[in-house]
Structure 1
Amino acid sequence: MTTDTRTDREVVARRASTAAAVGTAIEYYDFAIYGALAVVLAKLFFPATQGFVALLSTLGVIAGAYVIRPLGGLIFGRLGDRKGRRTVLLATVALMGVATTLTGLLPTYASIGVAAPILLTVLRLLQGLSAGGEVGGAVSLSTESSPSKRRGLFGSATSIGVAIGLAGAAAVVGTVSALTTAEQMAGWGWRIPFLIAAPLLVAAVIYRLKVEDSPLFLQMVEESAPPKAPLTEVVRDHKGSLLRVVGLAYSTLTTGALASVYLVVHLSGVLKYSLSSSLWLTVLIILVPIGLIPWAGALSDRFGRKRVAATGMIGFVVLSVPCFWLMQQGSLLLAIIAALVLNVPFAIQQGVIYTMYAELFPTRVRYSGVSLGFNIGGIVGTGTASLVATSLVAATGITLAPAFYAVFAAVVGLLMLRTIAESAGQRLANGTRPQEDDATPVPATAER
Structure 2
Amino acid sequence: MTSEQTVPDLDEEVGEGPDKATVRKAVTASAIGNCIEWFDFGVFSAGVMTAIVGTVFFPPDDGGSAALRSFALIAAAFVARPFGGMFFGPLGDRLGRKTVLAITIMLMSGSTFLIGVLPSYDTIGIAAPLLLLAVRLVQGFSTGGEYGGAATVIAEYAPTKRRGFFGSFLELGTLSGYVLGAALVLGVDLMLSDEALHSWGWRIPFLIALPLGLIGLYIRSRLEDTPEFQRMEQAGETSRSPLKDTLLHNWRMILNLIGIVVLLNVGHYTLLTFMPSYLSQNLDIGDTEASLITIGVELAMIAVIVPLGALSDRVGRKPLLLTSAIGFIVVSWPAIALMQTKGAFAVAGGFALMGGLLVLMLAVIGSTFPAMFPTQVRYGAFAIGYNISTSIFGGTAALVIEKLIKTTGTNYIPAYYLILAGVIALGPILLLKETARVPIDKCGRPDEPAPVPA
TM-score (norm 2): 0.91
Counterpart in the other structure of 1:122:
134
Counterpart in the other structure of 1:26:
36
Asked whether the 8 Å contact 1:293–1:350 carries over to 2, the reply is yes
RMSD after superposition: 2.1
* Structure 1: distance between partners of 2:337 and 2:371: 37
Q: How does 1:242-257 map to 2 (within 5 A)?
A: 242-257=254-269
Asked whether the 8 Å contact 2:111–2:139 carries over to 1, the reply is yes
Q: Which of 176, 194, 203 pairs up with 1:164?
A: 176
* Structure 1: distance between partners of 2:339 and 2:55: 26
Structure 2 gaps, min length 5: 1-12
Provide the secondary structure at the position in 1 that maps to 2:40: helix
Q: Which of 368, 372, 386 pairs up with 1:356?
A: 368
Q: How does 1:266-305 map to 2 (within 5 A)?
A: 266-305=278-317
* Structure 2: distance between partners of 1:119 and 1:4: 47
Change (3 A) 1:201 1:4: closer
* Structure 2: distance between partners of 1:75 and 1:390: 32
Matched, 1:409 2:421: yes
Q: Following TM superposition, by how much is the alpha carbon of 1:383 offset from its aligned partner in structure 2, in angstroms? A: 0.3
Q: How does 1:206-225 map to 2 (within 5 A)?
A: 206-225=218-237
Change (3 A) 1:184 1:145: same
Matched, 1:368 2:380: yes
Percentage of matched positions with identical amino acids = 36
Counterpart in the other structure of 2:193:
181
Matched, 1:6 2:16: yes
- Give the letter for the 2:91 counterpart: L
* Structure 1: distance between partners of 2:366 and 2:310: 13
* Structure 2: distance between partners of 1:100 and 1:236: 35
Q: Following TM superposition, by how much is the alpha carbon of 1:255 offset from its aligned partner in structure 2, in angstroms? A: 1.2
Q: Following TM superposition, by how much is the alpha carbon of 1:291 offset from its aligned partner in structure 2, in angstroms? A: 2.4
Query: Bigger shift: 145-154 or 273-282?
Result: 273-282
Q: Following TM superposition, by how much is the alpha carbon of 1:299 offset from its aligned partner in structure 2, in angstroms? A: 1.6
| Cα deviations by residue, 1:19-66 (Å, 9 ceiling, x for unpaired) | 211221122212442222222211112234467544223211111111
Q: Which of 334, 346, 362 pairs up with 1:322?
A: 334
Q: Which of 134, 137, 145 pairs up with 1:133?
A: 145
Asked whether the 8 Å contact 1:296–1:348 carries over to 2, the reply is yes
- Give the letter for the 1:25 counterpart: C
* Structure 2: distance between partners of 1:49 and 1:158: 42
Change (3 A) 1:372 1:219: same
| Cα deviations by residue, 1:317-374 (Å, 9 ceiling, x for unpaired) | 2221122222222222321222122211111111012321101111111110111111
Provide the secondary structure at the position in 1 that maps to 2:335: helix
Structure 1 gaps, min length 5: 444-448
- Give the letter for the 2:92 counterpart: G
Counterpart in the other structure of 1:425:
437
Provide the secondary structure at the position in 1 that maps to 2:360: helix
Q: Following TM superposition, by how much is the alpha carbon of 1:7 offset from its aligned partner in structure 2, in angstroms? A: 7.4
Asked whether the 8 Å contact 1:362–1:430 carries over to 2, the reply is yes
Asked whether the 8 Å contact 1:10–1:146 carries over to 2, the reply is no
Asked whether the 8 Å contact 1:10–1:147 carries over to 2, the reply is no
The alignment covers a number of residue pairs equal to: 437
Provide the secondary structure at the position in 1 that maps to 2:16: helix
| Cα deviations by residue, 1:243-301 (Å, 9 ceiling, x for unpaired) | 11111111111012222221112012222222232223222111112122222221211
